[in-house]
Amino acid sequence: MSYKFDLAGHSIYALTYHLILVVKYRKQVFTDLEITNTFKEQVFYVAPNYDIKIINQEVDKDHIHILFKATPKTDLVKFINALKGSSSKKIQHRHPQVKKKLWEGTFWSPSYCLITTGQVTLDQLKKYVEEQGKK
């Protein structure tokens, strides 16, 4: 089993995540390429402040997906909240027509989905751990 690790002063790690954010009430806000680009720009603006490297991101009409790498020191909740707040403000400022689609000016649903990803499957990892005592 092999991993691709990142390095820090006294640690090596592989922390990759899949983040899904949904527009409140699934309003279809991302129907215009300019709005989508504004969001994507904001992701790249916010991410470095939290030691996050964006791997990939894509936008659907009512939600977004972001794949990213983090460090052990990354405060994921602060990153997500900063991203939600700043992207909402930036989009509504640059594209005021979006406000007509929102419920009382609220852009994002208060919830989110954050999934850890791995370079191996859970079954592979279980098998690897089980075999450690047999050597």
Catalytic residues, by residue number, are 128
Asked whether the CA dihedral 108, 98, 45, 70 is positive or negative, the reply is positive
Inter-residue contact 98 to 27 (CB < 8 Å):
no
Helix or strand (DSSP H, E) at 23: none
List, in sequence order, the alpha helices (H) in the chain.
Answer: 33-46, 76-94, 122-132
Count of Cβ atoms closer than 10 Å to residue 110 Cβ: 8
